[in-house]
Structure 1
């Protein structure tokens, strides 16, 4: 096996080595194996497959120990390391292994009492806790997942508090600011645990931080102004702690109070998914459908990186992947939620059998994309 790997490296003169590679190892929830034993088995796996072409994921293993204890082994974030699209030699790279369990209990609710009424003010996850999605909120959750895994040597677990912005507006005048303070007091209790990395996610943050300049001056400040003041005060208090990260999303940034904007360290615009992102979304959906044998028999699909490595040349191995790339290209402009639903719609609208070949399914997916744009145009014409 080592000789074969050496021959492969000689055949690829531009192999990249000597860089740091992150390997995320998802330990099965039922596994009680020691992390060091898993680490040794994963290193043996990587030693047998030491030339990779970018990000790669194993979900099936020849090693019985890995099959029994590991859900997946993934080489991740290689695009952040490489400016050029060359293969990677793992044997000469610095490997950082991150072994983790996923919490499968789901979120709990954080309730606040007001006038004999329970208000669900936030949802609370123990991280890491499941697969991320594709929208702004899901990207924030994915970032929380990633940092929890990467910083597991420093923090034993992560906590994610997703604040329900709309619930914090009380039907009782002047009570909303008090509810915000109560919510952050609960968050403070989590932050006091130095073994936890705490993420506070405020979705649609403009609901809590509306620009105060938009309100007319009066003898008493409006409830909305009280809420903004309370949010700013509470954020100033908890951001001093090293184990807390505040994440927010907004669709109407011009409505946010400038005092809040000035407090943000990183502002990132998230546009519609690119062709490459759409390709990955579709690819993950197709993998799931093959796993469930809705698409059968299983077909090998190349990643975009692998297609680039062969110069997008069409052959028996690349043909279906190139078809998927073209479908991804014409899907540009669709949002993440729609893209996730399209494989389901393709099956529901154009496939009349419980099992279908990949070729037929891709034809149906292409038709579903066309139909989606047609419906968007019809709706626009009606406005």
Structure 2
């Protein structure tokens, strides 16, 4: 429900109701002057291939923002009245408002410290980093130049209950601050290593990639581009690696070449890092050759060497928490558990899926759905406005236990299995989604009984 002192001016936007006056907002404490140290409202600006100067683009975007005093939550402009923006800009976004304000409330752009980040997506896709071993070339890593087109929107698609995303952003920003201020790392230790651990399918690897993309855009005034190197842990223990330790050193020498470019912010992603632990423990037990432990030691040594540089962040993931090597855990500044989504997170995931299908007119006609917060505000009372949202809440409740990876697939499966038509009403789609959830749990039960 929109408060009487605001009025809608477009999708997701509100402005002051002229009949109420500014004092109505001031009296409720919704509009405040930015306090000292207040985080900036960061606005990414995706540009086309253009010769326009960044400062000219920023100036035009400031004029756009000046015409929209009040916004309500995240919002993206993709169409513009000004020809200059139409020619040179793909989108202007207000993002991550939920990281700043827990309860939805109007945001006065005039009272915010605005930080504009102009960027252009790299369409090139990943390349492979290979290592030569006598007669074979081994693919040891994948390499992206950031910001990459394939990661665009990935950050927003990841939904977590706790403040995981904001904590990770704050960690890297603090790392850079301490480096800038020449804080003695012998007195205050930080290693530039992040460890995300938890069950499969919870989005750990995606979060690492999205974080790298996000920080590249946020720090675009400082670094011209980002580099993301995803190391294939399993390939390090391939049968071809007769001299694994030397090959690991070669791989990190390539990474060092990237780090030496001070215009680049470099992210090293080691996925399923527990595979290193397995080899190390097996070697101690006598079931693996000593070459395996040389690989592990080589990697740990290389991590210790590259972490000295201020433009590198090491991101790691693990599916099996208890198998992570203590030597590696000790190197991680942040050890963040990423678990299955809760009912509230599932509701947000489903809601974003439904919005996308309505935008693409697969679900038609479009209908307004309430957020979980709005349902709470009306006490979950069923009426014509809340009926569909309450049904979605019920489906979310029975979806608990499914991973984020599965939840993102369910709308597709619901359509493929139970609809098979170009368009469907939202009522019909929710019914199909409920059936798809039931089928997912039935399949799990069948698989469990076969094991």
TM-score (norm 2): 0.76
Pair 302,20 (structure 1): closer, same or farther in 2 beyond 3 Å: farther
- Report what 1:46 is aligned to: 65
- Report what 1:95 is aligned to: 114
Greater Cα offset, 38-47 or 157-166: 38-47
Q: Is the 8 A contact 1:108 1:124 kept in 2?
A: yes
CA apart distance, 1:258 = 1.4
Residue 71 (structure 1) aligned to one of 77, 82, 90: 90
Residue 232 (structure 1) aligned to one of 273, 297, 300: 300
Matches within 5 A, 1:140-159: 140-159=208-227
CA apart distance, 1:36 = 2.6
Pair 314,157 (structure 1): closer, same or farther in 2 beyond 3 Å: farther
Residue by residue, what CA displacement relative to the aligned partner does 1:57-86 show, whole Å, maximum 9, x if unpaired?
334445554444433332222333235543
Greater Cα offset, 269-278 or 293-302: 293-302
Q: Is the 8 A contact 2:43 2:114 kept in 1?
A: no
TM-score (norm 1): 0.89
Give the Cα separation in 1 of the matches to 2:386 and 2:57: 34
Q: Is the 8 A contact 2:140 2:236 kept in 1?
A: yes
Pair 54,3 (structure 1): closer, same or farther in 2 beyond 3 Å: closer
Pair 16,324 (structure 1): closer, same or farther in 2 beyond 3 Å: farther
Residue by residue, what CA displacement relative to the aligned partner does 1:330-368 show, whole Å, maximum 9, x if unpaired?
222111221111111010011131112222222211221
CA RMSD, 1 decimal: 2.8
Residue by residue, what CA displacement relative to the aligned partner does 1:253-312 show, whole Å, maximum 9, x if unpaired?
322221111111110000012333323332333333233322223334454456566666
Structure of greater relative contact order (alpha carbons < 8 Å, 6+ residues apart) = 2
Residue 188 (structure 1) aligned to one of 245, 256, 277: 256
CA apart distance, 1:162 = 0.4
CA apart distance, 1:102 = 1.5
- Residue 280 of structure 2 is aligned to residue 261 of structure 1: no
Q: Is the 8 A contact 1:9 1:51 kept in 2?
A: no
Flag structure 2 segments of 5+ consecutive residues without an equivalent.
1-8, 10-14, 159-202
Give the Cα separation in 2 of the matches to 1:319 and 1:104: 42
- Residue 363 of structure 2 is aligned to residue 295 of structure 1: yes
Greater Cα offset, 207-216 or 244-253: 207-216
Aligned residue for 1:197, secondary structure, equals strand
CA apart distance, 1:208 = 2.6
- Report what 1:284 is aligned to: 352
- Residue 126 of structure 2 is aligned to residue 111 of structure 1: no
CA apart distance, 1:251 = 1.0
Residue 35 (structure 1) aligned to one of 28, 39, 54: 54
- Residue 109 of structure 2 is aligned to residue 121 of structure 1: no
Pair 162,152 (structure 1): closer, same or farther in 2 beyond 3 Å: same
Give the Cα separation in 1 of the matches to 2:241 and 2:392: 54
- Residue 341 of structure 2 is aligned to residue 273 of structure 1: yes
Give the Cα separation in 2 of the matches to 1:319 and 1:68: 43
Pair 286,47 (structure 1): closer, same or farther in 2 beyond 3 Å: same
Residue by residue, what CA displacement relative to the aligned partner does 1:150-208 show, whole Å, maximum 9, x if unpaired?
11111111000001111122424641212211111110000000000000000001223
Aligned residue for 1:260, secondary structure, equals helix
Q: Is the 8 A contact 1:181 1:230 kept in 2?
A: yes
Q: Is the 8 A contact 1:191 1:241 kept in 2?
A: yes
Q: Is the 8 A contact 1:209 1:231 kept in 2?
A: no
- Residue 329 of structure 2 is aligned to residue 329 of structure 1: no
Matches within 5 A, 1:146-185: 146-172=214-240, 174-185=242-253
Give the Cα separation in 2 of the matches to 1:113 and 1:259: 29
CA apart distance, 1:89 = 1.6
Aligned residue for 2:337, secondary structure, equals coil
CA apart distance, 1:10 = 4.7
Pair 308,96 (structure 1): closer, same or farther in 2 beyond 3 Å: farther
Q: Is the 8 A contact 1:211 1:255 kept in 2?
A: no
Greater Cα offset, 238-247 or 90-99: 90-99
- Report what 2:433 is aligned to: 365
Give the Cα separation in 1 of the matches to 2:233 and 2:21: 55
Residue 247 (structure 1) aligned to one of 315, 321, 334: 315
Give the Cα separation in 1 of the matches to 2:334 and 2:233: 21
